[in-house]
A = this chain, B = another copy of it.
């Protein structure tokens, strides 16, 4: 946003414009004063919030205001958004810590029903499971596709658990949306803008995974594509970023949780399974996510991790998941949260 200062403004009036700009931006580094075509312009960087342009127009020293805050929907100081999944009794953005659990990919019917029932019994409100799987190699297992979606539809109905599953291209968003309670956009597709627009045009909440090397600005920009199409229900999901570090598959950027809180009203959940790539490290990261203030968890659980066709090393078995839920429950209580 650019605020043009009147030519005959006083320095005191300019100072006032700058102070309002700094207050609205939240961070003084986002405000700069530049000379543009001979005019003094107070510029607020787009890594921002919904800005109150009227507040500027009221000031004496202001000639005109140009542009708008880039992320007027995803960002801002307004009350935190609550994303509801009534079928599952889930409310993201409240005192509830919503646990979403299940296998990486939908595979055997029997296993899926088993894990869905157990996950629900242990306190998970949403079942995760991919029907469409983006894979680095074209020769790897790519998911069961529509057949997988049908299995998810049935497990949802019979077990009574919410479903989060991924849409990989605009052409299949509708099919996914008919089955899922939450439509997932994967890390690799965080900047697949046609896909973002397509999920923005359907009515189910969207879980937007952070790209492997996405900045907070790019992530909120991606959310904005969805919001701008009219879907207000976006849940951000941190799943580890790519760094030099080698001790785990990705580096869980736990610090992005308070950063998202400061910049955006959207809820944020954490996927400790993809972040670490190792099931034995999942519990400590899940507890850390809760302690850091996340709104929920997306965690891989498989009845028999050794048999999973993808990402077997990072799946908890049901016993481990049960222990995790118990530990989460205790810490949630200490923090005034509930599962």
| Sample of 17 more A-B contacts, CB < 8 Å, known A134-B193, A291-B292 | A9-B11, A18-B34, A18-B35, A31-B32, A136-B218, A168-B193, A188-B192, A189-B192, A212-B213, A216-B247, A243-B243, A244-B244, A252-B254, A255-B276, A262-B280, A288-B291, A291-B331
Shortest CB distance A143–B (Å): 11
Stretch in A101-109, A148-156, A175-183, A220-228 touching the partner = A220-228
Cross-chain contact B251 with A243 (CB below 8 angstroms): yes
Interface flags for A43-68 (1: CB within 8 Å of B; 0: not) read 00010000000000000000000001
Shortest CB distance A172–B (Å): 9
Shortest CB distance A60–B (Å): 13
Residues of B close to A241: CB separation below 8 A = 243-245, 251
Shortest CB distance A318–B (Å): 21
How far apart sit A158 and B289, CA to CA, in the bound complex (Å)?
40
Residues of B close to A169: CB separation below 8 A = 169-170, 192, 194-195
Task: Enumerate A315-339 residues with CB–CB distance to B below 8 Å.
Answer: 327, 330-331, 333-335
Interface flags for A21-46 (1: CB within 8 Å of B; 0: not) read 01000001101111100101000001
How far apart sit A171 and B172, CA to CA, in the bound complex (Å)?
13
Cross-chain contact B221 with A136 (CB below 8 angstroms): yes
How far apart sit A195 and B195, CA to CA, in the bound complex (Å)?
11
How far apart sit A35 and B21, CA to CA, in the bound complex (Å)?
11
A233: Cβ under 8 A from any B Cβ: no
How far apart sit A292 and B28, CA to CA, in the bound complex (Å)?
33
